[in-house]
Structures are given as structure tokens and as C-alpha cells.
Amino acid sequence: MLKRLLVPVLTAALLPVGTARAVEPGPVAAQAFYLAVLTGACALFVAGDRTGQGDEGFGRRGFYGTALGTYAAPGSSGGVGFKAGYRCHPNFAQEFEGQWLNSVQGSEPSRKANNYMKLTANTKAYLSRSQLQPFLLVGFGVVYAKRDASDEENVDHAVQIGTGFDYWFNEDVAITLDAKFTIPTGSAGNLWNVTSGAGVQYRF
């Protein structure tokens, strides 16, 4: 039980602390608070769960890694991504996600970025434990963007929401498809984007 609780509890404890130091009160801080609440809810589900490990099937707990190819709009750019996470409950997971895109156009084409990176902490809620598992996702993190025309560099917070599904060939290997809407803040606020990704996931 301690192992099952450790990851979500630590995440729930650390996220509000880091957010309070990094941003002033406002919409971004509120989004971070909501993410922390979801993370805490994950811990409560784990604490109250009585499902045997052998009954979890395709929703079994465990660490996992994912490699993805991504496509972003507006601007029609490509990139790569990775995820490293822990399935803390048959219906919930915590993960860190990194993504690189070769360009992001956003709402101002004249100020597009030719180098864009994102790192977020995500909470995923799975709607099924079957072989095909749709999920919802919410995340909070940071983005780095280098402007094409001026060589200006921006580092700002970002919030993302998304959906997708995993299809499991067995209890260890799956293909995953997702679509996410990312909303940066501050000086990178115009670089909102919608990405779609496809990749392979392995659960240890």
C-alpha cells in the first residue's frame, strides 16, 4: 500500500509548493491548484481501492514509458515526445511529459517560434480497464520558445488538457493516440497549439 501511495501523494504535496513560489495568484495558480486536487483524488482512490492486483488486467499498476511522434497546428509542424509515468490505480496515472516541436505559429504568425519545448506533469483518468482504454488528461508545466524573427527566448508556464486512448496488445505493450490543447502564459501566451501524437507505450 505504501508503494501505491508514494508517487501520487508526493506529487500532490510538491505541486502547490512549487507553484506558489513560481507564479502570482491568478488563473495559472488556479489551474495548478485544480491539478493538485486531481492528484490528491488519485491518492484517495488508491487508498480506498480493494481490487486485487491479479484482477486489474490491462489496467494493472506499474511504471511505464512512452515514445511518440507529434504533429502541431496551427503551422503544420512536427516533433517528438516522451512520457514517463506510474499507473497508480487501474483508472488513474501520473506522468511527466516532454515534447519538442520544430515550430509553433500560434495566434501571431509574424512572431512564431522556430524551436519549442514543453515539460508538464499530467494526471490521466482512464474511462475503461479493457483492452481499449480512452482517457482524459490535464497537465501543468513550462514551455520554452525561441522566436523565429528576433531570436527572442521565452520561458513561461503552460496548462494543457487532452484526450486519447491506449490499445493494449498485452499487459505490457500498447499503442497510444492523443490530442492535446496547450495554453502558454506570459510572453509565450500567443503560442497556443493543438497537437496530436501517436506512439508506443511499455509498462514495466
As a whole number, mean pLDDT of residues 55-77 equals 87
Dump pLDDT digits (tens) for 75-102. Answer: 778 999 999 999 999 999 999 999 999 8
More confident residue, 195 or 147: 195
* 3-class SS letters over the chain: CHHHHHHHHHHHHHHHHHHHHHCCCCHHHHHHHHHHHHHHHHHHHHHHCCCCHHHCHHHCCEEEEEEEEEEEECCCEEEEEEEEEEEEECCEEEEEEEEEECCECCCCHHHCEEEEEEEEEEEEEECCCCCEEEEEEEEEEEEEEEECCCCCEEEEEEEEEEEEEEEECCCCEEEEEEEEEEEECHHHCCCCEEEEEEEEEEEC
For the chain, give the mean pLDDT. 78
Q: Could you tell me the domains of the chain?
A: 2-203 (2.40.160.20)
- How far is residue 4 CA from its own chain's centroid? 20
Dump pLDDT digits (tens) for 159-172. Answer: 999 999 999 999 99
More confident residue, 67 or 44: 67
